[in-house]
Structure 1
């Protein structure tokens, strides 16, 4: 059995992966927030031999963790205040905070229990979330020989102003975690009305304003780009996509600003072997078997590491660059190991999507 743990069953990545796994003869089981709310329980006990025993119950079906070959821990069972069913609870600060903590604890506890039961996890807890923290992973990347930008982490604008001067007034700011303001839509697909992207910083942005609440941020020198890379690492294999963000003024600082990414040129990219080797060593140090890496290729041809997201999106580059990421992630889950058979691209679902889009 292959388990897919996600916030929403209709997540595009989960749906695509299900298709590929099903086509390969698997019957993946999806544990999303809705199903866990209504029909799922986790049992921990001792077996007759005195060993610890983990069981999952889905409706009337109950099975041992030993039946689970692998588990994709894709998105935690997060709950958001824009869900119409939760608006009343979300208006009560203490109750809402408790509610979210309980769901987070339940999901992370299950992941750790699966790992303790020797289930192959993508990614293994606690590293599936621990290394979303930017400071530690950037340090480890530098220790493994990757080129990283000088970085300041601070909530004190005095240090940010000093850093701004040291970098000749050319720096960027980015948050530690995503910030998205939503309004309307559904729980699964809220309407996005505001997003905090990576932004260039002017000196006046770093002045103390009355009423400002100190919030830590990440400050780095602005790096002139030739192009950007998103590199998806699946076990010991790397799938790199060049994103030609400098073709458009809108995407020069942060390519995510353009919601219609199909209008930004994407193509497969051959990563130098020595850069790939360093990335694999980084993954080993972080205890990760899957991740989406962001890098910059500078105008001088340097490869600058920015971050690795253990749960980073890859659906759009699989489609726009034709990279067989789904197929190889499915192959790794089926093998229950980072050493898995290389899977070729399966274009059937991509062609079907294009036909629907062309309508």
Structure 2
């Protein structure tokens, strides 16, 4: 498809450095790009979608772009902000309006004819649930550490005694702020039986055996291409807390891991996935999770450049690369 043809639609919030990298590369290639945040609908975005026997037609109008719905070649679905409603609406009316926006506007964005999605938002959603991830990874032959999801404090303490050392991990990255509006993060932490009390009953908790590891690995997959990076230098169990101390080395992917990862992505119909592994002293890769929309732009240029190019290829050529 010629670069002067149809548009690549990038669905994300304003402050998304990962999407920025891909947009810059597409602009360099002369590929038409439109950026859209569904959280701006309906205040600064207008949708006109017409459906008949020939399919879907119409326009999507932002403050700077007009996009023909039947001329979108690819959709890069990143991290849009949540839908909102007019502040003057009553609470129940606002909830109704938000759900209507999700169904109408979001549903249209997920139904663009012939568009190549990286990834389709419904596939992202299906792949975000940690219990399903764990079960799928095991079926695909990946090495999953013993894991317990429970709200039973006695069962959690027994697990911690059996598999010590044990980590606590959140089941998803839910946006959370303090009283001052500052974003908070739930870090991965070591836990002992003494740390576990009756508050566990309040919701689901994930506990996992902490494997013996010499490094962490982030494996970013774009289509058939794999970009694996060994991460060294973290003094704690959660390397995300120590970016300033980390060292990155590109590494090859063992054949059995590559096979399991491709099977995993095929199960969910994903084009892109960011996998986290622990590297054992004997070279074993221990699977932790797959984020179907994971970040990668914090890596140094020699790591980000090939990932950027691979994603731009997918979006420019509609998956035919």
Query: Structure 2-normalised TM-score?
Result: 0.87
Residues 278-328 of structure 1: CA deviation (Å, up to 9, x unaligned): 211111111100111111111232111111111100101253745511111
Residues 258-279 of structure 1: CA deviation (Å, up to 9, x unaligned): 2xx1431112121123311221
What is the aligned counterpart of 2:297 among 308, 315, 323? Answer: 315
Gaps of 5+ in 2: 1-6
Of structures 1 and 2, the one with the larger relative CO (CA 8 A, separation 6+) is: 2
Q: Separation in 1 of the partners of 2:252 and 2:88?
A: 50
Provide closer, same or farther for how the CA distance between residues 52 and 271 of structure 1 changes in structure 2, counting only shifts above 3 A: same
State the Cα distance separating 1:65 from its structure 2 match: 2.9
Matches within 5 A, 1:1-359: 1-6=7-12, 8-32=13-37, 33-34=39-40, 37-46=43-52, 50-58=53-61, 64-78=68-82, 101=99, 104-106=102-104, 108-114=106-112, 117-167=113-163, 169-179=164-174, 181-182=176-177, 191-192=182-183, 194-208=184-198, 214-244=202-232, 247-249=233-235, 252-258=236-242, 261-317=243-299, 319=301, 321-337=303-319, 339-340=320-321
Residues 142-181 of structure 1: CA deviation (Å, up to 9, x unaligned): 11111111211112212212211221x3211111122454
Provide closer, same or farther for how the CA distance between residues 301 and 96 of structure 1 changes in structure 2, counting only shifts above 3 A: farther
Q: Contact conserved, 1:54 with 1:113, CA < 8 A, in 2?
A: no
Q: Separation in 2 of the partners of 1:96 and 1:157?
A: 38
State the Cα distance separating 1:64 from its structure 2 match: 4.0
Provide closer, same or farther for how the CA distance between residues 248 and 310 of structure 1 changes in structure 2, counting only shifts above 3 A: closer
Q: Separation in 1 of the partners of 2:145 and 2:136?
A: 13
SS at match of 2:143: coil
Residues 47-94 of structure 1: CA deviation (Å, up to 9, x unaligned): xxx2221433316976543311100111133269xxxx99x789x876
Q: Contact conserved, 1:9 with 1:15, CA < 8 A, in 2?
A: no
Q: Separation in 1 of the partners of 2:234 and 2:223?
A: 33
Q: Contact conserved, 1:137 with 1:286, CA < 8 A, in 2?
A: no
Please report the RMSD computed on the Cα atoms of aligned residues, expressed in angstroms.
2.9
Provide closer, same or farther for how the CA distance between residues 205 and 180 of structure 1 changes in structure 2, counting only shifts above 3 A: farther
State the Cα distance separating 1:132 from its structure 2 match: 0.6
